[in-house]
Amino acid sequence: MAKVIPVVNQKGGVGKTTTTVNLSASLALQGFKVLVIDLDPQGNCSSSFGVDKETLGAHAYHLLLGHAQLSEVIYQSEIDNLHIVPTNMNLAGAEVELVTEMGRESRLSHALHGHVDAYDLVFIDCPPSLGLVTLNALTSADSLLVPLQCEYFSLEGVSQLLRTLELVQSRINPKVKLDGVVLTMFDRRNKLSFQVQEEVQNYFGELLFETSIPRNVRLSESPSHGKPIALYDKRSSGALAYEALAKEFIKRLGLKKSKKTKKSKKASK
Ligand SMILES: Nc1ncnc2c1ncn2[C@@H]1O[C@H](COP(=O)(O)OP(=O)(O)O)[C@@H](O)[C@H]1O
Ligand SMILES: [Mg+2]
């Protein structure tokens, strides 16, 4: 059974997309079958995998609104084991259009249910809000991953996120839980990074991953080349950190590769 894992934090610029792209790529390169769903209308996750947002056919918007099936919105990435459901600015309309729909918070869950069994993991790159699109991600989720940037106020908004999680747990999706918090843009030369680490450790305890992601310019360059860091510069500190995070993640979630030998579907787009 695929585990569905939204990468969520309602703040922008904290490393959600960078973490979704590079953690999922590392896991795929380690042999897991991974689907990545881009639910941020900015589509940075899609471009980071080299998908051209301007020429997309059906995408995440159509999936959420029920205008397309999952199999119609899956694209093959450069990594064999990694498929992506891309998006573009049109997804911004979903937030409003979903409001009047029946079962508006469960659209994604229904679209995925029974259709993601060929994958070990489904990562969802969430937009920087706790609106209906993020709610759809939480409703379909098994496990949440929360990136926090090493800066002042990194914990700001976290209590609101946890309250939303509790609401989803109690009303819609009892199985979802927070499985980890990861610090991003850690700068060893800056005392602040260590202070934030201590503060987050005190707040989250064991939920904080031991691996922190360093600030690394190669990580910020790789999206413009349409490649995850593991393909762009696999020896960079950023690549090594995401590889280490992937290993820690596998251990923490007790992940096992599926034995299915079914060939990956190739998108015809
Ligand atoms: N570890 C890092 N080192 C350097 N730059 C980073 C790192 N993580 C993210 N960035 C850059 O910071 C910006 C915000 O990151 P992003 O992953 O897009 O955040 P979010 O998805 O939460 O908005 C992007 O320009 C990204 O390239
Ligand atoms: Mg993002």
Topology of the domain covering 3-251: Rossmann fold (3.40.50)
pLDDT of residue 102: 86
Q: Strands 82-85 and 75-76: what pairing?
A: antiparallel
Cβ 229 under 6 angstroms from ligand 1: no
Residues 34-66 pLDDT 10s: 999 999 999 999 999 999 998 999 999 999 999
Is 139 a residue whose pLDDT tops 70?
Answer: yes
> What does pLDDT average to over the chain?
94
pLDDT of residue 43: 97
Residue nearest to atom 24 of ligand 1 (CA): 220
Residue nearest to atom 17 of ligand 1 (CA): 15
Residues near ion ligand 2 (Cβ under 5 Å) = 16-17, 40
Q: Counting atoms of ligand 1 from 1, which one is nearest the CA of 221?
A: 27
Residues 149-158 pLDDT 10s: 999 888 999 9
Is 240 a residue whose pLDDT tops 60?
Answer: yes
Q: What is the mean pLDDT of residues 87-105?
A: 92
pLDDT of residue 247: 98
Cβ 20 under 6 angstroms from ligand 1: no
Buried b (16+ CB within 10 A) or exposed e, 34-65: bbbbbbbbbbbbbbbbbbebeebebbbbbbbb
Q: What is the mean pLDDT of residues 117-146?
A: 97
> Which ligand has its closest atom nearest to the C-alpha of 127?
2
Residues 164-223 pLDDT 10s: 999 999 999 999 999 999 999 999 999 999 999 999 999 999 999 999 999 999 999 999
Residue nearest to atom 16 of ligand 1 (CA): 15
pLDDT of residue 265: 39
Cβ 13 under 6 angstroms from ligand 1: yes
pLDDT of residue 260: 57
Q: Counting atoms of ligand 1 from 1, which one is nearest the CA of 147?
A: 22
Residues of the chain with pLDDT > 90: what percent? 90
Residues 64-75 pLDDT 10s: 999 999 999 999
Domains of the chain, residue spans: 3-251
Q: How far is the CA of 263 from the centre of ligand 2 (A)?
A: 30
Q: How far is the CA of 259 from the centre of ligand 2 (A)?
A: 32
